[in-house]
Amino acid sequence: MKALRGLRGQLALVFALVFGAVTLLASSYQYRQVGRVLRRSDDQRLRNRAASLLEQIEIEPHPIVPLPGRGEQLRVVVEEGPGQPARELFHSPGFDETAAQGAAPGLRVAEVEREQISETGQTMRIRLWLGHSEAPLAADLVRVRQGLWWGLAGSLLLAAALAWGLGGRVLRPLRRISQQARRIGNAPGDERLTEPATGDEVQELARALNQMLDRLQAGAQLQDNFLAAAAHELRTPLAVVHAGLAVTRQDPALPAHLRGPLGIQAEEMQRLSRLVDDFLLVSRLRTDALPLQLRPVPLAELALGVADRLLPRFRAAGRPLHLAVDEQVADYTVAGDADKLTTVLLNLLENALRHATPGAEVNLRLGREPATGWLFAEVANPVQQSLGDLTRLTTAYYQADVLSEGAGLGLWLSNRIAELHGTPLVLTEIEGVFTARLRLRPATA
């Protein structure tokens, strides 16, 4: 059913229906013509047979009437003169005058006559009626009708097959454009659709899509440039304000009732600085201007440092944080960029801190995949309600909870950094537990 809903299937269906309707009309006309020919042929054959039997009849000196053949019925009448009643010489059982006049159902009748001079000089008229069953003719018509129906069915199948093949050939450039557009959409860049030099609507479509991609890329480039410029401009004043708050909080003369508000302001300033850094990172990731400094990185030590850094926040929120390291793995050294991997783990843990069920524990686990041999670090936390389509979580600015803090960039940034390291994040949700796994290639691989 899905194939029929497509353009190719609709083309095959319409072509088959139109061709079928035309073939049906032509077959009906042909059937009528063949039926007419068969009836005329049967009538002519019956008349010829009747004429042959009539020639064999003799009246004088003694009447001689030939017997009808198998399946035939015969009636012979002689009219010997004006005013004299007709004399019946012979009739087959049941083939009386009424039947000879064609009133018997399922019987075809032919009538012939001839005149001859009797021995007394009178003109006699001999009339003969010959009938046979119309069943053979009906059987022939049935065979013709069946043949036409089979021909119609074969024509429909042939028309559908030809339309399907022709539709595939005609729509092949559109499928190629669709595949290229899907590939460009999954990995945006400078690639453009191939414009076939056909001079038709397909070429116009490809050109229009390329123009749209150019406009979209130009708009995205302006947005990224503005985002990068704004982030650069904000980093310096934010750093100055943060440093001023730090100096002010360390002043012994600062009244005690101001230390609390200044501490809250310092935390908000730090959060704002991280948000600006994320915006700068977004602009670099979108323009592929973020080089990785791939070096051997001790993943276990990096994860432990990130967990220690966020542990006070987890305790303040009442959410236990557990770090589990598979001791069977002797070496957790991976090939990666330590700063970028730190950003990924920070984002994953902060995401769990914001969205985990209140009071539920968050687990940071390290291990090795048996199938691939890759090392991984994954964060698992219970969620209050199902997240639905997990692919949306790695979309920029998407937030599963619109009332939560953040700009919806954490998982998108983490996923893009993971892709730069070789593979995207693996997101799963099983029995109310959401897991985000970062997979990394071992440094010795």
pLDDT on residue 368: 92
- Report which of residues 19 and 352 the model is more confident about: 352
What does the domain layout of the chain look like in residue ranges?
1-183, 201-286, 295-440
- Model confidence band, residue 389 (pLDDT cutoffs 50, 70, 90): confident
182-193 confidence digits (pLDDT tens): 777 666 566 777
Averaged pLDDT score across all residues of the chain: 80
Confidence of residue 3 (pLDDT cuts 50, 70, 90): very low
pLDDT for 142 beyond 70: yes
Q: Mean pLDDT across the stretch 405-429?
A: 77
Where residue 402 falls among pLDDT bands split at 50, 70, 90? very low
Range 372-390 average pLDDT = 84
Three-state SS sequence of the chain: CHHHHCHHHHHHHHHHHHHHHHHHHHHHHHHHHHHHHHHHHHHHHHHHHHHHHHHCCECCCCCECCCCCCCEEEEEEEECCCCCCCEEEEECCCCCHHHHHHHCCCEEEEEEEEEEECCCCCEEEEEEEEEEECHHHHHHHHHHHHHHHHHHHHHHHHHHHHHHHHHHHHHHHHHHHHHHHHHHHHCCCCCCCCCCCCCCHHHHHHHHHHHHHHHHHHHHHHHHHHHHHHHHHHHHHHHHHHHHHHHHHCCCCCCHHHHHHHHHHHHHHHHHHHHHHHHHHHHHHHCCCCCCCCEEEEHHHHHHHHHHHHHHHHHHHCCCEEEEECCCCCCCEEEECHHHHHHHHHHHHHHHHHHECCCCCEEEEEEECCCCCCEEEEEEEEECCCCCCHHHHHCCCCCCCCCCCCCCCHHHHHHHHHHHCCCCCEEEEECCEEEEEEEECECCC
- pLDDT value of residue 235: 61
What would the mean pLDDT of 116-138 be, rounded to a whole number? 86
What per-residue confidence (pLDDT) applies to 128? Answer: 92
Confidence of residue 443 (pLDDT cuts 50, 70, 90): confident
- pLDDT, average across residues 189-216: 77
**CATH for 201-286, among 3.30.565.10, 1.10.287.130, 3.30.360.10, 3.20.20.450?**
1.10.287.130
**Predicted local distance difference test score (pLDDT) of residue 277:** 66
Average pLDDT over residues 345-365: 86
Q: Write down the pLDDT at residue 130.
A: 92
- CATH class for the domain made up of 295-440: alpha beta
More confident residue, 350 or 223: 350
Model confidence at 58: pLDDT above 60: yes
| pLDDT, tens only, 284-314 | 555 555 567 788 999 999 999 989 888 888 8
Inform me whether the pLDDT recorded for 403 exceeds 50.
no
Q: Is residue 137 predicted with pLDDT exceeding 80? A: yes
Output the pLDDT for position 188: 59
Q: What is the pLDDT of residue 268?
A: 72
> What was the pLDDT predicted at 301?
92
Percent of the chain clearing pLDDT 70 (strictly above): 82
- State the pLDDT at residue 49: 93
**Residue 276 binned pLDDT confidence (cut-offs 50, 70, 90):** low
Residue pLDDT, tens place only, 235-250: 667 666 767 777 777 7
pLDDT at 309 (0 to 100): 85
* pLDDT over 90 percentage in the chain: 15
pLDDT at 80: 79
